[in-house]
Amino acid sequence: MGRIGINPVLATLMLVVLAVGSSLILYAWVSSSVPKAKREEALEAKVKLEAYSITPNGGLILYVRNIGSTRLVVDAIYLEIDGSATLVRRGDVVLEPGEVERIVVDSFTVRRAAGGMSSQVSLKLASEVGVEASVLLPTSAFKEAVKRKPPLIGLVAYPSSSRAHWVILDYSQGSYILYGDYGPGISEATRVAEGTAPVLTNVDEYTISETWVPWDQRPVDSPVLIVVSPTKAHQDWVFTWHDPHGTFRFYLEALEGDVETDFLIFWEDIYYPPTHPRVDDWKDHVVRITVFTNGTYRIAVYLAKGGYMHKFMLGVTEPYETVPQQSERYTKPFGAYWSNVEGGYYRAMEDKIFLVNPK
């Protein structure tokens, strides 16, 4: 019986079909096994600054639009000045094509980033898979934000009715000046110390010291320590503090409103270099300060203890050598112990929450 061979042209077409089919199957398998964000990495990410405003305290509100052809999944946002980046916030931000994201850069971040500023300022949106987009910011707007100084905080400690020492704090830079006079009068005093307070960012836990130490081994050379909430009051947050007394947990509940920044101040009221005391635990006074973008401040006391009388000031003005009086917000009397502990957490005391607009 004769054999009929396959037509060479038909055979070639069959091979082409098989090759194309295999390629499609392979492509479908590879596509399904690679995360969507990774597949989008090859696509161009573009953003545009639509508008901006400056808060009363020197923060920036930026409106950024995705003008690219693909969604942008952002894991972190940075403020970049002359190649040096400062973290603005973490957390997923999903920008579909055409969508606008409102981004608040608080005065802490503006001033930390402004130290080496010379020319170019940009906002960088980045993801873990390598997708990045950046937009230039007007240098004039950034410089104007830096000029707007937040109100100064004053913390006054009275060891007795005839003596006092006080701290003048610029929280946005962490800089402080300490005044005091242990002489017979307290109307005026000289500057006895100045420096930069530690500003803790993106941390949930901190140990000031595990044992009691003498003055020359003090763990922090500052009467205050600032802890910035990473959630900016948008979510509940717990900060854990360790010192020789033990472990203390401070519960910061989420707040409504347009928040620029949210932070705790820990104050050591015996920090006074001329007397060289044995350092204590830096939580003689713990207060939460929430700054809203409209310039309003929420002051919430979490802990205030010890024999000293404490006064909290917001909006201190010169002369700093005089005990601050004009901006007093509240006073803890001699020997009073203020706290509100619920379920093992220190929480704000409802009768010691103050809303003020110092400007």
Residue 94 is part of a domain; what is its CATH number?
2.60.40
pLDDT at 71: 86
Say whether both 124 and 157 belong to one domain: no
pLDDT at 39: 41
349 occurs within a structural domain: yes
Say whether both 186 and 109 belong to one domain: no
**Closest by CA position to 278, among listed 206, 209, 176:** 209
pLDDT at 138: 87
Say whether both 128 and 196 belong to one domain: no
215 occurs within a structural domain: yes
What predicted TM-score, i.e. pTM, was given to this entire model? 0.83
Where does residue 8 rank: exposed (0-12), middle (13-18), buried (19+ CB within 10 A)? exposed
pLDDT at 30: 41
Domain boundary among 126, 146, 166: 146
Whole-angstrom Cα distance, residue 277 to residue 212? 12
117 occurs within a structural domain: yes
Domain boundary among 119, 146, 173: 146
Contact (Cβ atoms closer than 8 angstroms) between residue 171 and residue 226: yes
338 occurs within a structural domain: yes
Those residues whose C-beta lies under 8 Å from the C-beta of residue 186, and which sit 6 or more positions away, are 162, 163, 164, 323
Say whether both 180 and 282 belong to one domain: yes
Say whether both 89 and 211 belong to one domain: no
pLDDT at 241: 98
pLDDT at 291: 97
Contact (Cβ atoms closer than 8 angstroms) between residue 282 and residue 266: yes
pLDDT at 250: 98
Say whether both 180 and 294 belong to one domain: yes
Say whether both 154 and 135 belong to one domain: no
Say whether both 137 and 248 belong to one domain: no
Domain boundary among 91, 122, 146: 146
Say whether both 114 and 52 belong to one domain: yes
Say whether both 191 and 339 belong to one domain: yes
185 occurs within a structural domain: yes
Where does residue 286 rank: exposed (0-12), middle (13-18), buried (19+ CB within 10 A)? buried
Angle at 57 between CA 180 and CA 272, to 5 degrees: 15
116 occurs within a structural domain: yes
Is the N-terminal amide bond of 319 cis, ω within 30° of 0? yes
71 occurs within a structural domain: yes
Name the domain count of the chain. 2
- Look up the domain containing 341 and give its range: 150-356
Q: What is the mean pLDDT of each run of 10 residues along the chain (359 residues)?
A: 52 52 47 46 69 94 91 87 81 87 90 70 82 85 88 94 91 93 63 93 93 88 95 94 96 96 96 82 97 96 96 93 88 97 97 92
254 occurs within a structural domain: yes
pLDDT at 86: 83
Say whether both 249 and 164 belong to one domain: yes
Say whether both 107 and 174 belong to one domain: no
